[in-house]
Amino acid sequence: MLAAERGAAQNTLAAYGADLDDLAAFSASRKVGPSGADAFTLQTYMAGLTQAGLSARTAARRLSALRQFFRFLLREGVRPDDPTMQLESPGLPSSLPKYLTEHEVDALLLAGMARAGQQGLVARMALEILYATGLRVSELLSLRRGALAGDVAVLLVRGKGGKERIVPLSDAAKEAAEAYVKGQADAGGKDGDARNVSPWLFPGRDPRQAMTRQGFALMLKQVAMDAGIDPARVSPHVLRHSFASHMLSRGADLRSLQLLLGHADIATTQIYTHVLAERLQRLVEAHHPLARKLAV
């Protein structure tokens, strides 16, 4: 159902599969199948996650998988009830999205440009596109070579649930793309067109496959070290957060940001309102009559 009806990504399917496999193993130890588990069994299972030292966030994800599983069984008539209705969600600590300063992003982009050869071209274009568009890394790595054909000004992106959206490219990203495409052609001439036959914009070691998330994360951390930034602070999602935070701080509105990020619900975009609150505070301090009088 997740794959056919919701178009869930492969990583999502794998995560839900692992969560349900864990429930199945727990249920089997109590002589019951996972689809036959009652509320007490599920409460015991969830309590065991905490006792095992799993974080509240991991437990919340497991609970989300259970709820969707049992709601599916209820809709399909496999069972007459939803035992997860009696489960309480684990309390999650409120956390603000981690992002880089504009100065740090500039340093990261410069470090990517400074890397030699084809890897430098890949790093530069990937960083420019990520920061210009706020794409998820899965969306970036799934781009086909034809996505940048011609004088392209926008990207057509297929996001979560198979939903498509259009995101504009910055001039810097387009220039990086042109340099990358030219570098691919030059490398192909030297290496027997090995890279040119790849259907992916970012080929992996095997040109028939796209670059892996792990390979991309490693490249990003190497660039972070070159830029003098702690690699632990840098990830594709941190760049997505940086894009959103910097857009808001420079005047973008939440609804436009929701469209650019591909969030189905604006409530998801509202995690960035701390940046909006800081900007409004600065506006008040700079322009409110009483604030100016107090400053004098």
Query: Are 92 and 56 a contacting pair, CB within 8 Å?
Result: yes
237 is catalytic: yes
* Active-site position among 62, 195, 240, 246: 240
b/e map of 194-227 (b: 16 or more CB within 10 Å)?
A: ebeebebbbbeeebeebbeeeebeebbbbbbebb
Query: Are 211 and 200 a contacting pair, CB within 8 Å?
Result: yes
* Active-site position among 61, 79, 221, 237: 237
* Active-site position among 124, 195, 246, 263: 263
246 is catalytic: no
Find the helix or strand (DSSP H, E) in which 126 lies. Answer: helix 117-133
272 is catalytic: yes
263 is catalytic: yes
The three-point CA angle 290-295-296 to 5° equals 100
* Active-site position among 160, 165, 213, 221: 160
131 is catalytic: no
3-state secondary structure of 164: strand
* Active-site position among 136, 174, 241, 246: 136
Query: Which residue carries 């810097």 as its tokens?
Result: 172
Query: Are 102 and 246 a contacting pair, CB within 8 Å?
Result: yes
Question: Which residues are designated catalytic?
Answer: 136, 160, 237, 240, 263, 272
